[in-house]
Chain A
Amino acid sequence: MKLRTSVIAVLGMAFAAGAAHADINVGVTVSATGPAASLGIPEKNTIALMPTTIGGEKVNYIVLDDASDTTAAVKNTRKLISEDKVDIVLGSTVSPNSLAMIDVVAESGTPMISMAASARIVEPVDEKKRWVFKTPQNDAQMSTAIVEHMTNSGVKTVAFIGFADAYGEGWYEQFSSVADARKLKMVANERFNRNDTSVTGQVLKLMAARPDAILIAGSGTPAALPQKALKERGYTGKIYQTHGVANNDFLRVCGKDCEGTFLPAGPVLVASQLADSNPVKKSAIEYITKYEAAHGKGSVSTFGAHAWDAGVLLAAAAPEALKKAKPGTKEFRTALRDALENVKEVPAAHGIFTMSPTDHLGLDQRSRVMVQIQNGAWKLVQ
């Protein structure tokens, strides 16, 4: 009986929601299952923390899972646009999905904010990509930070091991070109799978090249496996990780083997250690507080913060668009796009966004810090 009542209630609510036309509808597609689930789940959790009213209008979030699959991401996007009549699409989690969605949002003239890393999603801004924005730092920005840190610490040769997927591939492209420009020699390039039970072969190959430093490009706990194997085989050089590992599960799994590891990250990872004058600190702490209130202490990850930043951008741009048109109309979507392109100095969890017609990412140097793992915790490197 109870179930039936609640089903009826839910259905009633669904109809009611459909009837209210002036609401801002936000469509979200994230990779909450499949290989990218560890990134997509915190993003999905973050959506629930986003503002429910913007500029006096109610905001509805429709969240769909694309299972880390491009086909599903495109299908979700079409559904959000044609069925739910969303004013903006947030997502998806991984680069291939986001790339595949561009055609769909451009065709219908709906703005989209991606939470995936690849610079190809927004560069170069053209007839289609003028609808597309993204929040995560480009791999190139992060690579530059690592290369700078390496060269400053006297590293001459570096080896690379990354995921055998779009993440590892993107990192290798960016990192090797930056390293090349800075005269840092790449001596080995290996790949591993997220689910591999052993990376002994790759690690032996890396060590045989005797690099001064090794960069591991993986996301979440899987990135711990090469590092543990390197330590077990007695590697003593410097080890760098990417911002993909920035969650506490990584620290838990990697344990003492990750002591001393360097990585670039968005400031949100070490928000409490930032100077009070840093404009990012307030926004970042707000996000962390909200997230941990809902999901427990230490549960926050920088991936969720990318979703949060998408929400921040939306909250900054939507009031402008509301002045020009009513939500649910083509005019509103166009106005929203224009407003997103014009956001200036908006502080968010990962940095300060300043968009322009040629830059749909809008992050600068303030969006990344170097972090070291010390005593099982993230420590800001000054």
Chain B
Amino acid sequence: MKPMFSPRLILGVFLAVLAVAPLVLSSFYVTLLNYIGLYALVALGLVLLTGVGGLTSFGQAAFVGLGAYTTAVLTTATELPGWLAWAGGSPWLALVVGLVFTAVVALVLGSLTLRLSGHYLPLGTIAWGISLYFLFGTLDTLGGHTGLTGVPPITVFGFELDRGEELFYLIWLFLLAAMLTTQNLLDSREGRAIRALKGGMVMAEAMGVNTARSRMIIFVIAALHACASGWLYAHLQRFVNPTPFGLHIGIEYLFMAVVGGAGQVWGALVGAGVITIAKQWLQDVLPRIFGQSGNFEVIFFGLMMVIVLQRARDGLWPLLARLVPVRATRRELDAAAEALPRKPLPAKGEVILEAKEVTRRFGGLVANNNMSLSVRAGEILALIGPNGAGKSTMFNQISGVDTPTSGEVLFLGRAVAGRDSREIARMGMSRTFQHVKLLPTMTVLENVAIGAHLRGDKGVLSSAWRLDRNEEARLLNEAARQIERVGLAEHMFDAAGSLALGQQRILEIARALAADPCLLLLDEPAAGLRFKEKQALAELLKKLRGEGIGILLVEHDMDFVMGLVDRVVVMEFGEKIAEGLPEDVQRNPAVLEAYLGGVE
């Protein structure tokens, strides 16, 4: 067995190497490390935004420019307008102004472009990226295309950081702080919401996550990282002009994030490092092979990157991580954490869900016609019917995903229509999906914890600086409790994607339960389950019923339904053809015909 190192040890070695680097390296290599630090800071924002959140941005260079220009203008201008005079002269004040300004610009741009779906978004980022770049060049106060000279050095406690070796520590302090906080953020309640953005938006909304807000959060964070990088850049370079903030550079930042490993915090550093060093290496090596005549650097650089991506689609970090044997650390659960408060359940027998004469037309097709049903607290109602009977449409009307053409659905006496998934989740309705929707690379525990999203309230800042640990422990404990309850305890720390389909369905139930619902909507929970698993599921549902939760079950499997549920509603051709106790419905001739003529 290979020796395993603890992550702390490796981090310690890394920090020690960093600390002595400027003392032993020549000033050129320190310069390279400075640039790597600056680039990595921007790429880190992209890791969060693109790699984790799935929002591709080509425009980060423009935010770098905002940071750089804000400080350059504020620290060099001889006459500032009166209202800004207080911010003149000091780089640190300029940093604050730059961050605030960038946040405002990001909020405005984000509110305009983050609504864009699919490929509109990257194009939107190209659009404002190019616009800001040309604005830098055409505004006279910004020095035009020629640029602004004479940016002063940063001073720390009266000490001027006017050499690269000195600024090095500040740059890497910024970067390491950003990496630490990003890592913390991703491992928190807000972080799970962010990680759900890529490929799990519908699910996350159904669990009460405000995905639009989460998108905006990562967009602003990425912009602020870029702005800080720009601030440092301006004081390192002591000169600012538009070329470092153009579209090409914006693309290059994205390049770094993807080559490093877009989903990994350390990937940002690897990407920035590899690309900066590769370019340097090519600049050294190629002239020796080809002579001084042509310019082969970009050609070889492009081809090298093609080959790297062909060989390592997920970027270089995963490959590197494999080389260094790091002991895996497992999440420790704090059993002593206080249980989360629960909402009072409605009294047993009280009607909690009522659908009244729901009709839904799609053009000429009537998917649901005049459907009525109700669910009481502490009962299980099954909605059954052959394929194409309109069950899923009905499910969508009830869960608020779709709006009925006429009729209404009341949950706890309030209309469902017109409310978004989040609000419905907040009211206490929780659901599973017919086609399992979970985040395959996250652990079972984390997936279930998303269900408890609404039961916590710690925000981004407390997550980033680990002020949320008490609440986080309670959330995870709750998730663990639900996992044990549905019988997946042994898979708690496995990746959700590694589970069998049946287990994934059970996981979805645990996730729904973590939300502390009074009504559970289950879409074909028994599909893909083996006999024993079905029995266990039935036991679980009975127990939940006993606790007073109302359950609506859409199911195919008659055997599973009949032994379990209190009442049955049967649908065919979009209409209700029978309703009643399971044994009565089973004998109903209309039902028999529907099913005998049907699939099963």
A: which residues have CB within 8 A of B?
Answer: 7, 10-11, 14, 32-33, 44, 47-48, 63-65, 67-71, 74-75, 78-79, 81-83, 95-96, 99-100, 102-103, 107, 118, 120, 164-166, 168-170
Contact = CB atoms under 8 A, between A and B. Distances in A.
Contacts of B147: 70, 96, 99-100, 166
B504 to A, nearest CB: 48
Interface string B207-249: 0000000000000000000000000010001110101100000
A308 to B, nearest CB: 16
Contact of A68 (B27, B144, B149, B243): B243
Contacts of A103: 237-239
Contacts of A168: 145
B145 A99 contact: no
B174 to A, nearest CB: 18
B297 interface: yes
A96 B145 contact: yes
Interface stretch (B288-296, B392-400, B495-503, B584-592): B288-296
Contact of B145 (A47, A78, A79, A166): A166
Nearest to B297: A65
A63 B292 contact: yes
A74 B28 CA distance: 10
A166 B28 contact: no
Q: How large is the interface on B (under 10, 10 to 19, 20 to 34, 35 or more residues)?
A: 20 to 34
Contacts of B56: none
A169 B144 contact: yes
A11 B134 CA distance: 44
B78 interface: no
B145 A65 contact: no
A120 B295 contact: no
Contact of A69 (B32, B244, B292): B244
Contacts of A33: 295, 297-298
Contact of B241 (A10, A64, A166, A170): A166
A46 to B, nearest CB: 11
Contacts of B138: 164
B441 interface: no
B146 A120 contact: yes
B411 interface: no
Contacts of B26: 82-83
Contact of A96 (B28, B146, B238, B292): B146
Contacts of A120: 146, 149
Nearest to B292: A63
A132 to B, nearest CB: 12
A155 to B, nearest CB: 27
Secondary structure of the A contact surface, majority rule: helix
Interface in B81-136: 134
Contacts of A10: 288-289
Given A78-B27, A103-B238, A120-B146, A164 B244 contact: no
Contacts of B297: 33, 65
Given A68-B243, A71-B237, A83 B28 contact: yes
B289 A7 contact: yes
A135 to B, nearest CB: 18
Contacts of A100: 147, 237, 239, 241
Contacts of B28: 78-79, 81-83
B200 interface: no
Given A7-B288, A64-B283, A82-B27, 10 more contacts: A7-B289, A32-B295, A48-B292, A68-B243, A70-B243, A71-B237, A82-B31, A95-B146, A96-B147, A164-B137
B58 interface: no
B35 interface: yes
A27 to B, nearest CB: 12
A48 B291 CA distance: 11
Contacts of B146: 95-96, 99, 118, 120, 166, 169-170
A11 B145 contact: no
A96 B146 CA distance: 5
Contacts of B295: 32-33, 65
A149 to B, nearest CB: 26
B145 A74 contact: no
A22 to B, nearest CB: 21
A99 B137 CA distance: 16
A103 B297 CA distance: 27
B23 to A, nearest CB: 15
Given A10-B289, A166-B144, A102 B149 contact: yes
Interface in B433-484: none
22 contacts: A7-B289, A11-B288, A63-B287, A63-B292, A64-B283, A67-B298, A69-B243, A70-B237, A74-B31, A75-B32, A79-B31, A81-B28, A99-B147, A100-B241, A102-B239, A107-B163, A120-B146, A120-B149, A164-B137, A165-B137, A166-B241, A169-B146
A347 B280 CA distance: 38
